[in-house]
Amino acid sequence: MGGGGGGEEGNNLEFTPTWVVAVVCSVIVAASFAAERFLHYGGKFLKKKNQKPLYEALLKIKEELMLLGFISLLLTVTQNGIIKICVPESWTLHMLPCSLKDKEEKKSAKLTEHFQTFFSFTHIRHLLADNEGEGHQPTAAEKLGHCARKGKVPLLSVEALHHLHIFIFVLAIVHVTFCVLTVVFGGLKIRQWKHWENSIGDGNNGTPDLESTVTHVQDHAFIQNRFTGFGKDSTFLGWLKSFFKQFYGSVTKLDYVTLRLGFIMTHCRGNPKFNFHKYMIRALEDDFKKVVGISWYLWIFVVIFMLLNVHGWHTYFWISFVPLILLLAVGTKLEHVIIQLAHEVAEKHSAIEGELVVQPRDDHFWFHRPHIVLFLIHFILFQNAFEIAFFFWILFTYGFDSCIMGRVRYIIPRLVIGVFIQVLCSYSTLPLYAIVTQMGTHFKKAIFDEQVQARLVGWAQKAKKKGLRGDNNGQSVQGNAQVGAGIQLGQVFKRPSAQEDNVIVPRDEGHE
């Protein structure tokens, strides 16, 4: 038998039957090609359905898998070099995920099992057979490893390197899976709003009623549902209401109709029949391709979290509250943006003519940047996937009773928090994000279809090239292109002027 100093059973490739090698290679290659074909036909299906954002997200997943393959290859190639890096044993006695007492108990249990096996008749028979077949017995020096002969220990053992390899793979797969599940279930929730869009178009042909009867602002249903009544300076009640609102009926039909009208009157007044729901779905799919990937800064968080996994700190229990707190903060903020929109109208005007129109602005978001919300959702989904992936990795690698798993009273809350985050993000936070982030100062590029986006990019590139060539008419050509684009877009996307404002009775500044 070819077991070396590591004590592992089996032969190396030199003494492995060729049929075993062929079978294993065939299975691995077949599984790899099956996965590649599945992604290929999935991409063709998405392109056929004109789902370009989802297709680009699929390409992002393929990039992540390619990165995983490179990491796997790198770990395999450098494995022998890593295990030959020797360090003093005292260096490995600090910041352990399990205590040294657990290590001694585990070593004692293995030693007892070894002696029981050693004195069994079957093991003795195998030893006699091996002694007859082998002419050379390894010396004591040969049994010692490379670092043991120097009186040191390896920086990372082969087994630990293999387990780390598995963890990286599990983390990437779980993250992609959780992102897909979140967008799928959140998308189902958002697609339920389609009948609201259709009912608006069927009711008034998509044209806002801006010249009907006068309505007192305080009597409007949207203001009554969202306005706290204590003025803008007293925000505690508004934040408290926003916190609880995210758990039930986060977006109502009245919210959708009001926010939709505010978007249309701000960004595309010239196109009152604009399909806001379709645009919102395109924008969400466009953002999904950014969330599904694992960015470099997320890998830094992985390293930090694994560094802090020290025995007695219960780091993964406390870290599980980070995505929960961030998710509740994001949901509360998005709900509070709607309340702020209602406050603005209620504080500026006492009555309006026709429909109530809110004014989207970046000032309602953190640091005046709506895209920060997407970054936080990305981090929340990744951190939650990290927690769940770490649990399953420990479960299938070391077992539920492993010291690194932690105590049951810390495991159960982590799993409950993970499930809660996944459900709340899918059915509340993501739909809120899809509609509330449209209440910024600027609209997203998904407002244009692919043909219009391509034309705009083409105009910009041509104008830039002519300007860089030093063409005498470069500036005029570029200006003409921008003016032409502005004229065409202005017919569809037109901001309301002061004369077009539908407010007829301004509110007194001192009135509460």
| pLDDT of the residue at 500 | 43
Question: Could you give the CA distance from residue 109 to residue 128 in angstroms, rounded to a whole number?
Answer: 26
Which tens digits make up the pLDDT trace of 185-226? 888 888 888 888 888 866 555 555 555 566 677 767 787 777
Residues 454-485: tens digit of each pLDDT: 555 566 667 766 766 555 444 444 444 444 44
| For residues 348-354, average pLDDT | 71
**pLDDT value of residue 332:** 93
CB neighbour list of residue 311: distance below 8 Å, 6 or more residues apart? 96, 97, 98, 99, 403
Identify the pLDDT of residue 214.
66
Torsion, Cα of 184, 189, 191, 194 (10° steps)? 180
Please tell me the predicted confidence (pLDDT) of residue 309. 83
Alpha helix segments (H runs only) across 268-370: 276-291, 296-307, 315-319, 321-348
The pLDDT of residue 188: 86
Q: CA 343 to CA 367: how far, in whole Å?
A: 20
User: What is the predicted pLDDT for the residue at 326?
Assistant: 94
pLDDT at 405: 78
The residues with which 215 forms a beta bridge, in sequence order, are: 352
pLDDT at position 38: 86
Cβ contact 386:171 at 8 Å: yes
As a whole number of angstroms, the distance between CA 466 and CA 293 comes to: 36
Least confident piece of the model among 206-215, 338-347, 395-404, 502-511: 502-511
Strand, helix or coil for residue 448: coil
For 18-163, strand residue ranges (E) read: 86-87, 153-154
Query: Structure tokens of 29?
Result: 């290659």
Query: DSSP states of 146-200 as a string?
Result: TTGGGT-EESS-HHHHHHHHHHHHHHHHHHHHHHHHHHHHHHHHHHTTHHHHHHH
Give the domain ranges of the chain: 95-134, 161-443+493-506, 451-490
